[in-house]
């Protein structure tokens, strides 16, 4: 079996970016991946602006601890000012353009406005005090967002701040999913003897939606080789990636592995990972009338146990999908944190322990680390990456991968 890093390297090596792009409105680009650099079309701010509500002044006009000046104009944000006349002050508001001639802003708490149209300035400001200079944030023609950036709310605000109304992004990934197991039943249906509800369908669909994928959901596929092969052939015709849950182990009723080998090839199978050992990667050949370019669709087979499926998606499928969309840095954050528990049994595999932050700034582990206990993924805040053969002692520093980084 490959170790976790070897397996991830092998999977990502096969994830060549699709290279197909589209233009979308900036307002509709949340979660998409930039396909071209965003270049600033102007300076930000585009002119000198006030950082405070107060008074624009010439410092040379301030002669002592207190200076009384006539107020020559009022400048709200969005209004063009007149040049500041010598010996006067201008009432100014946050974000408003600084009038030519002014070299400082005195905030209103350090001034006293009088009914006769004058203001008493009780502060000697430094040069440029409370003035946001033109271009202080962004310079025209600089790269503000690089190709390969996954766009978030603040990214879209940054693009909008330099006047970008449309963005070139990677097209959405087309993903087919299906779930194997005659024991699977959908919520709302009556459970038969020996059956369970298909929780993986809800988890995987939601994770794919968070990544902005276009999905084809084939639902539950019967546990037989012919049906599995037929679904694989159909899914390969119109999708970039096929994801399955279950059927990749070695049981007599596990048909996904032989079906993939019959319809394409299996390049990787079984990883020294807990939970998630039966993870598989391969390719499914496309028919001549395929609607997607390329000889084969990518295939990732996830384990059927719910926690195994969830964890392997976060560790392998998420970075694979991001890399196909053009994101280069897909390595999750590992935060050094203190373990406030002891795990005396060391596993020979790389174990990912469900854990959460406690009130003391440390981590506690869920008591039951079984791959069937989906409760632990709701209770937890993330995963501890515990190396093979390593026991965790209370007080040790461990590597923590927060769910907040992995779920979107």
100, pLDDT greater than 90: yes
Tell me phi and psi for residue 113, to 5 degrees: -80, 135
Does residue 24 form part of some domain? no
Residue 341 CB neighbour total at 10 angstroms: 20
Confidence of residue 182 (pLDDT cuts 50, 70, 90): confident
Which residue range forms the structural domain that includes residue 56? 49-132
Task: Say yes or no: 214 and 257 in one domain.
Answer: yes
E strand or H helix that includes residue 242 = strand 241-245
CATH code where residue 54 lies: 2.170.190.11
Give residue for tokens 């207190």.
66
Task: Say yes or no: 229 and 315 in one domain.
Answer: yes
252, pLDDT greater than 60: no
pLDDT for the residue numbered 364 = 98
**Distances from the Cα of 398 to the Cα of 210, 365, 384, 393, angstroms:** 28, 12, 7, 10
Task: Say yes or no: 320 and 346 in one domain.
Answer: no
Does residue 407 form part of some domain? no
Over the stretch 117-156, which tens digit does the pLDDT of each residue have?
999 999 999 999 999 999 999 999 999 999 999 999 999 9
Average pLDDT over residues 203-217: 97
Does residue 83 form part of some domain? yes
Does residue 25 form part of some domain? no
Confidence of residue 240 (pLDDT cuts 50, 70, 90): very high
CATH code where residue 161 lies: 3.90.105.10
Domain endpoint, select from 325, 354, 385: 325
Looking at the chain, the whole-number percentage of residues with pLDDT higher than 90 is: 90
Domain endpoint, select from 286, 306, 325: 325
251, pLDDT greater than 80: no
Look at strands 382-386 and 335-338 and give their pairing. unpaired
Task: Say yes or no: 269 and 308 in one domain.
Answer: yes
Task: Say yes or no: 290 and 356 in one domain.
Answer: no
Say if CB 264 and CB 299 are below 8 A apart: yes
Does residue 300 form part of some domain? yes
Task: Say yes or no: 294 and 187 in one domain.
Answer: yes
Over the stretch 272-330, which tens digit does the pLDDT of each residue have?
999 998 899 999 999 877 777 679 999 999 999 999 999 999 999 999 999 999 999 99
pLDDT for the residue numbered 222 = 87
Over the stretch 255-273, which tens digit does the pLDDT of each residue have?
899 999 999 999 998 899 9
Task: Say yes or no: 317 and 347 in one domain.
Answer: no
CATH code where residue 342 lies: 2.40.340.10
159, pLDDT greater than 80: yes
Average pLDDT over residues 364-370: 97
Average pLDDT over residues 339-367: 96
Work out how many domains the chain is built from and give that number.
Answer: 4
Return d(Cα 56, Cα 125) in angstroms, integer. Answer: 11
Does residue 330 form part of some domain? no
**Sign of the C-alpha dihedral computed for residues 199, 202, 207 and 213 taken in this order:** positive
Task: Say yes or no: 200 and 181 in one domain.
Answer: yes
Q: At what angle do helices 256-263 and 225-238 cross, to 10 degrees?
A: 50
Tell me phi and psi for residue 263, to 5 degrees: -100, -5
Return d(Cα 330, Cα 166) in angstroms, integer. Answer: 25
Over the stretch 327-349, which tens digit does the pLDDT of each residue have?
999 999 999 999 999 998 999 99
Looking at the chain, the whole-number percentage of residues with pLDDT higher than 70 is: 99
Task: Say yes or no: 187 and 315 in one domain.
Answer: yes
Please report the DSSP string for 337-405 in residue order: EEB-S-B-PPPSSEEEEEEEE-TTS-EEE-S---TT-THHHHH-SEEEEEPTT--B-TT-EEEEEEHHH
Domain endpoint, select from 325, 345, 363: 325
Task: Say yes or no: 87 and 183 in one domain.
Answer: no
Average pLDDT, the chain: 95
Residue 27 CB neighbour total at 10 angstroms: 11
Task: Say yes or no: 100 and 176 in one domain.
Answer: no
CATH code where residue 198 lies: 3.40.980.10
Does residue 26 form part of some domain? no
Does residue 118 form part of some domain? yes
Residue 19 CB neighbour total at 10 angstroms: 11
Number of H-type helices and E-type strands within the chain:
9, 26
Say if CB 243 and CB 177 are below 8 A apart: yes
pLDDT for the residue numbered 149 = 97
Average pLDDT over residues 65-94: 97
pLDDT for the residue numbered 291 = 77
pLDDT for the residue numbered 250 = 60
Task: Say yes or no: 177 and 297 in one domain.
Answer: yes
């Amino acid at each position: 079996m490959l170790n976790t890093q070897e397996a991830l390297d092998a999977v990502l090596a096969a994830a060549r970016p699709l290279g197909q792009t589209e233009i979308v409105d900036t307002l509709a680009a949340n979660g998409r991946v930039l396909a071209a650099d965003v270049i600033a079309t102007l300076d930000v701010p585009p002119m000198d602006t006030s950082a405070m509500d107060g008074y624009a002044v010439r410092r040379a006009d301030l002669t002592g601890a207190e200076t009384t000046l006539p107020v020559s104009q009022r400048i709200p944000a969005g209004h063009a000012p007149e040049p500041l006349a010598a010996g006067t002050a201008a009432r100014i508001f946050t974000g408003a353009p600084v009038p030519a001639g002014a070299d400082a802003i005195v905030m209103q708490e350090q001034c006293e406005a009088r009914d006769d149209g004058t203001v008493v300035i009780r502060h000697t400001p430094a040069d440029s005090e409370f003035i946001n200079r033109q271009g202080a944030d962004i310079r025209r023609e600089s790269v503000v967002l690089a190709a390969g950036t996954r766009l978030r709310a603040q990214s879209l605000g940054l693009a909008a701040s330099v006047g970008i109304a449309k963005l070139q992004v990677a097209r959405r990934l087309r993903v087919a999913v299906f779930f194997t197991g005659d024991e699977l039943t959908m919520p709302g249906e009556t459970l038969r003897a020996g059956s369970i509800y298909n929780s993986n369908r809800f988890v995987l669909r939601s994770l794919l939606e968070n990544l902005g994928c276009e999905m084809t959901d084939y639902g539950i596929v019967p546990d037989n080789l012919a049906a599995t092969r037929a679904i694989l052939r159909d899914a390969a015709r119109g999708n970039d990636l096929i994801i399955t849950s279950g059927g990749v182990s070695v049981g007599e009723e596990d048909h996904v592995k032989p079906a993939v080998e019959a319809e394409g090839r299996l390049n990787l199978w079984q990883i020294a990972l807990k939970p998630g050992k039966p993870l598989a990667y391969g390719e499914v050949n496309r028919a001549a009338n395929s609607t997607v370019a390329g000889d084969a669709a990518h295939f990732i087979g996830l384990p059927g146990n719910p926690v195994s499926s969830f964890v392997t998606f976060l560790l392998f499928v998420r970075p694979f999908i991001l890399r196909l969309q053009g994101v280069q840095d897909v390595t999750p954050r590992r935060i050094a944190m203190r373990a406030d528990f002891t795990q005396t049994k060391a596993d020979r595999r790389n174990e990912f322990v469900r854990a959460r932050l406690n009130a003391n700034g440390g981590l506690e582990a869920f008591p039951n680390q079984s791959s069937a206990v989906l409760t632990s993924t709701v209770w937890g805040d993330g995963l501890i990456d515990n190396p093979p053969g390593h026991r965790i002692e209370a007080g040790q520093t461990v590597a923590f991968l927060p769910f907040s980084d992995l779920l979107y």
